[in-house]
Structures are given as structure tokens and as C-alpha cells.
Structure 1
Amino acid sequence: MMGIGIDLESISRVANWVKRYDRDTLSLVFTTREIDHCQSVSYPYQHYAVCFCAKEAVGKALGTGLADIGWNEIETAIDPSGLTIQLQGAAQRQAMINGVQHWLATWCCWDDYVLVHVLTY
């Protein structure tokens, strides 16, 4: 089954949220690898926003949202080749139920916004 998910988020909104919480609280939404990556780059809040948007977009592409999927069951990696998605737990089970074999995830940024687009097939 083919799925499409799109999400848009304000970088400054995510930045305000990230600044307010410690690492343990952030780990309720972001995986350890996502936090480590975001903290190691020149534009950490932009990368946090990409990870956040990707999780939302994946939930939409799976057709379930994040209602029955834990935030940490969707992990995003941002590298020079693009955006990769790794699933585990309920997210991985839902992808299998949907017959998802491939992901295409892209992102772009302009002004204070990040947009993530996810296609499953």
C-alpha cells in the first residue's frame, strides 16, 4: 500500500521546546542517536525540527498517525545523502501490515520552517 505523509514545523517553536527540557525529557520524543546528532551539528534546532517533522510525516504515511506508535519507534538520520527512516516496535509492525517495502523521505527548509515529505511504497 502506498502512503504519503507531510509535516511542517516552525524551527523557532521546536527550539523553544528543546531549550526548555533536559536530555531525559527530550528522549521521550527523540532517540539517543537523534539527540547526539542534533547536538553535534551547526544548526541543531533545524535538525531537531526535521526529526520531529519526520516522525509526524511517517505516522501520516502509515495511515495511523502517532496514536499507537511511540515517538522513539521512528528514528530519523540526516546525512549528506538525505533523510533515512528506521522503524521498530509498533511502527515497524504497521509498516509490515501496510506492505511497506521502501521509503522515500525528503526535507527542505526556508526561513523559520522545515517541511518533511514521506512516501511509502
Structure 2
Amino acid sequence: MGIDIVDLSRMARFLRRYPDRSLRMLLSETELGQVRRDPCPAVRLGTSFGAKEACGKALGTGLAGLAWTDIEADCAAGSGDRGVRIALNGAAARHAAGLGVARWQVRTQRLGPEALMVCALALTAGADGAPEPRGVRHVRQPRR
């Protein structure tokens, strides 16, 4: 599972500061089109950024070793239920396959001036029906 919180006022400043040429390094053409057509472009941009960050965290890599465009967030597809459809490409798709990710789901919730994104991954089942975590690290919390 990965979680990210985005400051929407920061996204508004980002949109004013950077032209589409810069945004194309971070967003697919589909995502950029959705941002530009949305009545609240900062919210749409924040949702895309947050979904990418949450998915990267759920994959256990953050965005290290991935291109921003390897994770594509389509908000129009799931807007009715606060869902975001995610498409993994390139290194993100290869990493997810290596982990045995069968499917994923992203949900978003607006929290005043911020937005929260949560990404949950489901792994493929083994012969006994239990998930097979391939390459997933479990971090043990220190005892107090």
C-alpha cells in the first residue's frame, strides 16, 4: 500500500510557473489534456502527482528508477467514485510484474487544501490461494 498527500495550492503555483513542455516530462498526453480541460486544473494535477507517488510507494520503489510517465493516472475513468484508473508502463510495469502484482486500485479524497491518494496492490495467488510476495520486503518495527 502507498499513500501520498498533495498540497493543491502548490499544484496551482506549479501550473502557473511551468509551460506544457515541462509538464510533458511528468505527464502523459492524456493526463496533460485532462489537466488542461478540467475546471479545477490544480486538483487534477495534484491527483495525478499524488497517484503516481502513491503507486511508486506501493511498488516499494517510490519513483526511483521509474520515469514519471511510467505511471499514468486517468481520473476521468473513475471520477464518479473517487477512483483513478492507473496504467503502468515501462519500468513500473516490469517491476509490478516481478512482484507478482495482479491488480491495483487508487482512491482519492479531497481534504480541504490538500488531496489524499491511497494505492493498494493485490498480488497473484499461489497454489494454496495465499498471495505470493516476490521481492517484497517486510520491515520489522523495533520493539520499545
Which bin holds the TM-score, normalised by the shorter protein?
Answer: over 0.9
Partner of 2:102, secondary structure, is: coil
Q: Does 1:59 align with 2:56?
A: yes
State the AA in 2 paired with 1:16. R
Q: Which residue of 1 aligns with 2:33?
A: 36
Partner of 1:116, secondary structure, is: strand
Q: Does 1:14 align with 2:15?
A: no
Q: Which residue of 2 aligns with 1:104?
A: 105
Partner of 1:69, secondary structure, is: coil
Structure 2 stretches lacking a partner, 5+ long: 123-144
With a CA cutoff of 8 Å and minimum separation of 6, indicate the structure with the bigger relative contact order: 1
Q: Which residue of 2 aligns with 1:69?
A: 66
The alignment's TM-score, normalised by the length of structure 1, stands at 0.94
RMSD: 0.8
Q: Which residue of 2 aligns with 1:47?
A: 44
Identity percentage of aligned residues: 34
Partner of 1:115, secondary structure, is: strand
Alpha-carbon distance between aligned partners in 1 of 2:62 and 2:38, rounded to the nearest angstrom: 29
1:3-54 CA-to-partner distances (Å, cap 9, x unmatched) read: x000001000011112101101011111111010111111111010000000
Partner of 1:102, secondary structure, is: strand
Q: Which has the higher strand share?
A: 1
Q: Which has the larger radius of gyration?
A: 2
Alpha-carbon distance between aligned partners in 2 of 1:104 and 1:28, rounded to the nearest angstrom: 24
Q: Which residue of 2 aligns with 1:26?
A: 23
Partner of 2:100, secondary structure, is: coil
Structure 1 stretches lacking a partner, 5+ long: none
CA shift for structure 1 position 110: 2.0
Q: When the two structures are aligned, how many residues end up with a matched partner? A: 118
Q: Which residue of 1 aligns with 2:132?
A: none
CA shift for structure 1 position 95: 0.4
